[in-house]
Amino acid sequence: MQTMFRTALAVCALAALADKGVRWAWYAGHWSAALADGRRPPDQKRSMIYATGTDRPIFRPHHQPFNDDSRFAPGTADRAEHIRDGDQLLRNAAAGQLPAVSFYKPPGRYTRHPSHTDLKSGDEPVAALLGSLRATPQ
- Predicted pLDDT at 125: 86
pLDDT tops 90 at residue 89: yes
Question: Higher model confidence: residue 12 or residue 36?
Answer: 36
- Predicted pLDDT at 72: 85
List, as one string, the DSSP characters of 63-118.
G-TTTT-GGGSTT-HHHHHHEEEHHHHHHHHHTT---SEEEEE--GGGS--TTT--
Average pLDDT value over all residues in the chain: 85
Q: Given pLDDT bands bounded at 50, 70 and 90, which one contains residue 80?
A: very high
Contact 105, 61 (CB under 8 A): no
Q: What is the mean pLDDT of residues 59-76?
A: 84
Question: Higher model confidence: residue 99 or residue 116?
Answer: 99
- Predicted pLDDT at 136: 87
- Predicted pLDDT at 1: 46
Question: Of 3-12, 79-88, 121-130, where does the model show the most confidence?
Answer: 79-88
Task: Give the residue among 1, 106, 19 at the shortest CA–CA distance from 71.
Answer: 19
- Predicted pLDDT at 119: 83
- Predicted pLDDT at 112: 76
Q: Given pLDDT bands bounded at 50, 70 and 90, which one contains residue 88?
A: very high
- Predicted pLDDT at 5: 57
